[in-house]
Amino acid sequence: MPEKLETRHVFVDTSIYESKNYQFHQHTLGRFKDLCNEQNLYLLMSSIIDREITSHLTKKAHEAAKHVKEFKKTIKILRNLPELKHHGIFDELTKSKTENLLLEKYAKFKEEAVREWVDIDLAKPSVVTEHYFKKIPPFSDKKKDEFPDALMLISLLEWAKQKNTRIYVLSKDGGMNSFCKTSGGWLKAVSDLDEFISLVINVELAANASISCTTLH
């Protein structure tokens, strides 16, 4: 975990969203979204991450609707008790409705939080190929099919160089974190979103306190 905030540019891997149950407007991700919306952080997004999240949400929506349907059969005796607080579980919940609601929340998150999209075309095929054959992270003996991650990370690194700015890469993926360590300091790996948010908030509080002291004097 960094001791100070070196940059406000941040990129979040799908693994972080997954670990927070895709609760984009609540709890940790909700606080993160607010920091981005207030421009205390500048969230970068890749089409690869976008597609991964959309795919995961669709899959989870269909699975959840299926499990709810099965569960309602198990507890059907409770249909006789409409006065129960949780009787609403018997309302119809289709796969498409669940999917649409989840995707709407995700779309709202992107609208409020994402500052800029990083074009994966910034990743040169020759560089990706070199990483693959030399087994340079995110590729390895155990992870040979990491082309999406490679495209995403190499394009992110190129973006950082072009903009002359470091980027925090929030991820729980070992391959992605290893790539950041070989990026020459352009990409800084962070695995704990909660600690990172605390760092940003503390930096903001310290900055505001400094401004207040200057004003008083």
Instruction: Decide if 8 contacts 43 (C-beta within 8 A).
Output: no
pLDDT at 63: 93
Instruction: Decide if 174 contacts 162 (C-beta within 8 A).
Output: no
Q: What's the rounded Cα separation, in Å, for the pair 11 and 88?
A: 39
In-domain check, residue 205: yes
pLDDT at 86: 79
In-domain check, residue 83: yes
Instruction: Decide if 120 contacts 46 (C-beta within 8 A).
Output: yes
Nearest alpha carbon to residue 160 among 2, 57, 9, 53: 9
pLDDT at 210: 55
Instruction: Decide if 51 contacts 17 (C-beta within 8 A).
Output: no
In-domain check, residue 3: no
pLDDT at 216: 45
pLDDT at 208: 63
In-domain check, residue 90: yes
In-domain check, residue 2: no
In-domain check, residue 4: no
CA quadruple 47, 51, 52, 56: dihedral sign: positive
**What contacts 189, CB < 8 A, 6 or more positions away?**
169, 171, 176, 177, 180, 181
In-domain check, residue 182: yes
In-domain check, residue 1: no
List the beta strands (DSSP E) in the chain: 9-12, 42-46, 114-118, 167-170, 187-190
Residue 103, SS3? helix
Q: What's the rounded Cα separation, in Å, for the pair 34 and 22?
A: 15
Low-confidence ranges of the chain (pLDDT < 70): 1-3, 140-145, 207-217
Instruction: Provide the residue range defining the domain that includes 127.
Output: 9-216
Instruction: Decide if 2 contacts 200 (C-beta within 8 A).
Output: no
**What contacts 115, CB < 8 A, 6 or more positions away?**
36, 39, 42, 43, 44
Domain count, the chain: 1
- Rounded to whole angstroms, what are the CA distances from 86 to 63, 79, 90, 141, 207? 21, 10, 9, 50, 47
